[in-house]
Amino acid sequence: MTDPNAGTASPLAVRGIVAGHGTFASGLISAVEQITGRGAQFVPISNTGLCLEDIQGTLAQALDTTGARVIFTDLPAGSCTMAVRRMIRERPGVLLVTGVNLSLLLDFAMQNVDDPAQAVQAALDRGRAAMVMHGAAVAGA
């Protein structure tokens, strides 16, 4: 008998780390959990009180402990992103996604694919598409 789940990522395994300022990461993960029940796929990391080297060490430890291959950060030029960029030079296969939003994280959480790059690309497309402006633009603003 063949396993119907063979070749698919477990919805319960840690697949990503979410890092950012304050409680940003835990807030996003909490929302993913409330909406999908799949918040356990992510580990939150806060940079509060940490220097760049401490952030890098914390993220490295989280990668080693969980086996996650994707790190989502809040700001493209923030300290978490800088720490990841330094770290991934020696960690081929680890992907960095900056500017994460809830739509992106929800899409990633709902995918059951083994290829992190494929999952990230689809999630990026969803995250970008979710950002829209409604209403009339104010002139001069």
Q: Is residue 5 part of a domain?
A: no
Per residue in 106-138, pLDDT (tens digit) is 999 999 888 999 999 999 999 999 999 888 776
Q: What is the mean pLDDT of the chain?
A: 90
In a domain, 108, yes or no: yes
Residues 6+ apart with CB under 8 A from 138: none
Q: How many CB atoms lie within 10 A of CB 117?
A: 12
pLDDT of residue 2: 34
Helices H / strands E in the chain, number of each: 5, 4
Inform me whether the pLDDT recorded for 10 exceeds 60. Answer: no
CA-CA distance, 7 to 13, in Å (whole number)? 14
Instruction: Give domain status of residue 86, yes or no.
Output: yes
Q: Look at residue 32 and tell me if it is in a domain.
A: yes
Of 1, 119, 23, the residue nearest 68 (C-alpha): 119
Residue 94 has pLDDT above 70, yes or no: yes
Name the residue range of residue 27's domain. 16-126
Longest dimension (CA), the chain: 66
Q: How many domains does the chain have?
A: 1
Q: What is the CATH number of the domain that holds 89?
A: 3.40.50.510
- CB within 8 A of 140, min separation 6: which ones? none
Query: What's the number of CA atoms in the CB half-sphere (13 Å) around residue 81?
Result: 10
- Domain annotation covers residue 42: yes
| Residue 8 counted as domain residue | no
Q: What pLDDT is recorded for position 34?
A: 98
Among 105, 95, 112, 113, which residue's Cα sits nearest to residue 130?
105
Domain assignment present for residue 91? The answer is yes
Q: Is the pLDDT score of 6 beyond 60? A: no
Reported as a single tens digit per residue, the pLDDT across 24-82 is 999 999 999 999 999 999 999 999 999 999 999 999 999 999 999 999 999 999 999 99
Region at 133 (left for phi over 0; alpha for psi -120 to 50; beta for the rest): beta
Question: pTM for the whole thing?
Answer: 0.87
